[in-house]
Amino acid sequence: MQIYVDKIFLDNYVEEISTRFNYEIVFEKPHTNNYFIYDTNGLSLTLRSNNTIKLMNINFMSGKLGWRLKRADHESNLKKALGKTKNSLKIFDATAGLLSDSMIFLSLGHKVVAVEQSKIIYLLVEDAVKRSKNEIPFLKNLNLINANSLDIYKSSLESFDVVYLDPMYPIPKKNIKKSGDLNSLRSILESENILIEEDALIDSFMQTDYKKLILKRPLKAKKLYSNINYQVKGKSTRFDIYL
């Protein structure tokens, strides 16, 4: 993986990620399909699919996520899934992705450990956090980790009030166009040769010692385990809650 930087934007941060992840910094546009660009927008990823090139950049202050955050109070299904509480909860997000769900948890005053297995997705999110942490104070309650979440959970000395799982499900054909972010996540994982083994991930977490596990599922998907305690249903997805 290469990071394309105009020399005027070269700084300690991009040099540090190049060393940490063994990504090469280049000063000329690469001819490959996937590479990072580092400029005034921070870190972006070029993704080519079917002859179109897409630029992926995470920004917590604008776009779909900015909009979700502004109305975090109305994220009633996620709030219902967490349950009524006046206390700040410790939440373990085992499938961090683009961090949209965790940003809602954080904005509600909770503390989050969020783990993402993909280096590329992790870096895009880490950079977005770095760019907005002065404007979004609750980001201080986030611990973002690049690893396999099961390993981190099993070796953690902390205890968590909630484990949150939002695995990647096959997208029904009629929703493919609407699933832009999920499609991008899929092609990133493919480019990193990461297998999508979500059923195994759910199974493994179900066998851990959790207080409360929230599993996001497509609305019409079968219940996976019989010990489900309750469900919170939205338009296209639902939260299955295990206690």
Build a one-symbol-per-residue string for 201-220: x at contacts with ligand SAM by CB under 6 A, - elsewhere.
x-------------------
Question: Considering the rule CB under 6 A, would residue 150 count as an interface residue with ligand SAM?
Answer: yes
Q: Could you tell me which residues come within 8 angstroms of residue 158 by beta carbon, excluding any fewer than 6 positions away? A: 90, 113
Chain residue at closest Cβ approach to ligand SAM: 97
Nearer to ligand SAM, 34 or 118 (CB): 118
What are the tokens at 192?
């990193």
What are the tokens at 22?
């063994």
What gap in Å lies between CA 97 and CA 145, rounded to an integer? 11
Pick from 25, 171, 189, 224: which binds ligand SAM (CB under 6 A)?
A: 189
Half-sphere CA count of 171, side-chain side, radius 13 A: 14
Work out how close the CB of 72 gets to ligand SAM at its nearest, in angstroms, rounded to a whole number: 13
Residue (of 127, 211, 196) closest to 164 by Cα position: 211
Pick from 34, 95, 107, 184: which binds ligand SAM (CB under 6 A)?
A: 95
What are the tokens at 56?
């992926």
Nearer to ligand SAM, 187 or 231 (CB): 187
Work out how close the CB of 88 gets to ligand SAM at its nearest, in angstroms, rounded to a whole number: 20
